[in-house]
Amino acid sequence: MSGLVSVKVEFSGGLELLFDNQRSHRVSVPSHVSTSGKKTLNNNEGTDAGEGRPADLAHLILWLRDNLLKEREELFVENGTVRPGILVLVNDTDWELEGEGDYQLRDGDDIVFISTLHGG
């Protein structure tokens, strides 16, 4: 199996400003993440794909922070998830109906982040 999952990510409501002012991105993230947060010696022995748990939305959020975000991280992530006031949609469905951060990413998923925090 492939070691990457490819998803479309969109930012709006002002969030795009943190991501190089670009609204739409296509990203490929590791399809599995190490089960422990820290690297252990055992990691060196395993193959890089198919190990650990499947990548979920919580993982994608941290991946975006580490790989795509350009500035002011605190406006996107807080306590390991998106900051309160940011809406998330998975394939045009409120992520609250999809298990939020536990939603397992699938190839071709369309993930939208909208900030509600900007002026009305």
Partner 1 sequence: MPPRLCALCNEARAILKRPKTGQQICKECFFWVFETEVHNTITEAELFKPGDRVAIGASGGKDSTVLAHVMKTLNERYQYGLELFLLSIDEGITGYRDDSLETVKRNQQQYDMPLKILSYNELYGWTMDAIVSQIGKKNNCTFCGVFRRQALDRGAASLHVDHIVTGHNADDIAETVLMNIMRGDIARLGRCTLICTQGEDTIKRSKPFKYAYEKEIVMYAYFKKLDYFSTECIYSPDAYRGHARVFLKDLEAARPSAIIDIIHSGETFEVKEEVKATQKTQQTCKRCGYMSSNELCKACTLLEGLERGMAAAAVTERARKKLDAEGPAPENLRTIPFYQQAHPPTNAAGLPI
Decide if residue 94 touches partner 1 (CB under 8 A).
Answer: yes
Radius of gyration of the chain (CA): 15
Does position 87 interact with partner 1 (CB under 8 A)? The reply is yes
In angstroms, the CA 23 to CA 41 distance is 39
49 binds partner 1 (CB under 8 A): no
Report if residue 54 touches partner 1, rule: CB under 8 A: no
CA 28, 116, 83, 75 torsion: positive or negative? positive
Q: Does 34 bind partner 1 (CB under 8 A)?
A: no
Residue whose CB is less far from partner 1, 3 or 101: 101
97 binds partner 1 (CB under 8 A): yes
* Region binding partner 1 by CB under 8 A among candidate stretches 34-42, 43-51, 57-65, 111-119: 111-119
Chain mean position to CA 106: 12
